[in-house]
Amino acid sequence: MFRKCLRASVSPAADGNKEFMKIGVLALQGDFLEHKVILQKLGVETIEVRLPKDLAGLSGLIIPGGESTTIGKLAVAFGLMEPLRHFAREFPVWGTCAGAIFLSQNAKKEQPLLKMMDITVERNAFGAQVDSFEADLDIDELKKATGTDDPFRAVFIRAPIIESVRGNARVLSRLADGRIVAAIEGHLLATSFHPELTKDTRFHQYFLSLCKK
Ligand code: GLN
């Protein structure tokens, strides 16, 4: 735990005790700014990652929602595929929506994927943009990590379903009808929905708790 925190320590601790972490947000396309705003609200230094060198010194990385084919193509063009895989082997990475697709092993169609999580996703499983919706999710692990009891209001926009999880990947959350919308595999996290589009910061807090381990 301390190795990563110390390695990532970049600012003198203003209050003496606060642990400082640098968290990256992949900033090739999509809603990376919204993630940045929440992380900053939580007092975490954030770095926009566009090139392999930007990964240096980070304690974790968020891959935002957007368009997974575009994020994949740009990651290939910027020489990021192998550096991202290397990073994800050692440090926590969280993919939201398109980011979850990009982390997956299988999206059932040909497109650049990191293939770091043993999950199969189905893109646009709920239909088009107009079929976007919100749902309350009861996520035990999130409640435990944040010491709260309220459900998490999740925003789904042209969202994928996590069709199956295998190996070390396990289900974190399902919709009421049983479809999987969040999964975790070690320090890798995938959510079909967009916690960065709500005021609830608990999912980001949960991810930060993984980065401190
Ligand atoms: N439908 C998009 C894709 O397949 C993901 C949408 C999103 O990130 N909100 O990449």
- What is the predicted pLDDT for the residue at 18? 42
| CA 159 to centroid of ligand 1, rounded, Å | 6
Q: Which one from 35, 196, 204, 211 is the annotated catalytic residue?
A: 196
Q: How does pLDDT run across 46-105, given as a tens digit for each residue?
A: 999 999 999 999 999 999 999 999 999 999 999 999 999 999 999 999 999 999 999 999
- Asked whether the beta carbons of 207 and 184 are under 8 A apart, the reply is no
Q: How does pLDDT run across 146-192, given as a tens digit for each residue?
A: 999 999 999 999 999 999 999 999 999 999 999 999 999 999 999 99
Q: How does pLDDT run across 97-109, given as a tens digit for each residue?
A: 999 999 999 999 9
Q: Domain residues for 101?
A: 2-212
Ligand 1 and 158: CB distance under 6 A: yes
How many domains does the chain contain in total?
1
How far is residue 8 from each of residues 17, 40, 64, measured CA to CA in Å? 15, 16, 21
Q: Does 185 qualify as catalytic in the annotation? A: no
Alpha carbons 129 and 114: distance in angstroms, whole number: 25
Alpha carbons 29 and 180: distance in angstroms, whole number: 25
Ligand 1 and 70: CB distance under 6 A: no
Token couple for 167: 């190996």
**Any idea what the CATH number is for the domain that residue 119 is in?**
3.40.50.880
How far is residue 146 from each of residues 4, 171, 197, 208, measured CA to CA in Å? 21, 19, 19, 11
